[in-house]
Amino acid sequence: MPLLEYDALGVTLPGTARPILDGIDLHVGAGEVVALVGESGSGKSVTARAALGLFPAGADITGQVRVAGTGLVGADAASLRDVRTNRAAMIYQDPRAALNPVRRVGDFLTEPLRLAHGWSRNRAAARAAELLAAVGLPDPGRHLNQYPHELSGGMLQRVVIAAALTTEPRLLLCDEPTTALDVSTQAEILAVLGRLQRERGLGLLLITHDIELAAAVSDRIHVMYAGRIVEAAPVADLFAAPRHPYTAGLLGSSPPLHGPLARLTPIPGAPMGLLESAPGCAFAPRCHFAEPGRCDQSPPPPERHGPAEVACHRTAELTAPAANAPAPAAFHASGKEDS
């Protein structure tokens, strides 16, 4: 049984033209790191929050999300609380916004232990200090009594990671965990997360806009566009041969972590807003390969192509080794001409 499983999850807000999430299928097993990559507004944060049973107010929800077998759509308060306290924990983008500024760091760390598990103040504090040491903070005893504003962003993100681990959940949800931090701190936080994940065999869902970062730390990558997963594949396969034009575009528009900095090619146009909708593939208006009369007519269903699952009408033709169709490698070239 996977730790986390999305089963055709759909989320629609009244008064919008298209669903925020549409048919999300995704699973994270123990010891597995899965990345969900997309531009802002693609629905990746909504997806992550759904794993804690947090849905936008007033939204219409279809499908199901299961954490350790517990369905969260339509769950009662007790099982929701159990999942949130014991089974899954979220690491947020901006640690400074995630902590209550008027409460001590120690309060933040020990809150679930003391409230849900009824631990004594001392026992919870001892456990919190242990965890602060585990995430590499130098002076746990002192940090417990400090206020958030007395710590740097990187230290606070370590506190948030420690807090996520207090009740020993098996699943970590990381929503852009390094975006708000400066570059040198980003690497440290990733190292801490990676180490803890391996040591504890955690399942980890990484939400990021940065496909290179996702490639560096995860086993599988799901690429999201306008509320749908457009391509899902193991990292190596995805990088070797992107099968969706959007994935190819992302690879062409993000700087590689290693190697020379090639010229970046931005994807033309802007992501589709919640008030717009298209009868066909949502990416078609921005796609170099969109075929009129086909791509703009009906949404492509996800299909298996080798190791990957892709939702594109033309994947078969575009990735075929035939000479007259552009090969995946040519996606980059084509993007360059256009920009």
Residues that bind another protein (CB under 8 A): 49, 52, 54, 80-86, 89-90, 92, 94, 97-103, 111-112, 115-116, 147, 149-150, 163
Query: What is the 3-class SS of 250-277, one letter each residue?
Result: HHHHCCCCCCCCCCCCCCCCCCCCCCCC
Give the CA-trace dihedral at 282, 287, 289, 294, to 10 degrees. Answer: 30
115 versus 257: smaller Cβ distance to another protein: 115
Cβ proximity of 286 and 267 under 8 Å:
yes
* Cα–Cα distance for residue pair 121/107, rounded to 1 Å: 10
Give the CA-trace dihedral at 204, 209, 211, 217, to 10 degrees. Answer: -30
Q: Whole-number minimum distance, CB 108 to another protein, in Å?
A: 9
Query: In the structure encoding, which two tokens stand for residue 189, read together?
Result: 């936080």
Q: Whole-number minimum distance, CB 111 to another protein, in Å?
A: 6
Q: Whole-number minimum distance, CB 183 to another protein, in Å?
A: 23
* Residue that the structure tokens 């504003």 belong to: 149
* Cα–Cα distance for residue pair 202/224, rounded to 1 Å: 23
Q: Whole-number minimum distance, CB 195 to another protein, in Å?
A: 22
74 versus 301: smaller Cβ distance to another protein: 74
Q: Whole-number minimum distance, CB 171 to another protein, in Å?
A: 13
- The SS3 assignment for 70 reads strand
**Strand 220-225 with 203-208, pairing:** unpaired
69 versus 269: smaller Cβ distance to another protein: 69
Q: Whole-number minimum distance, CB 90 to another protein, in Å?
A: 6
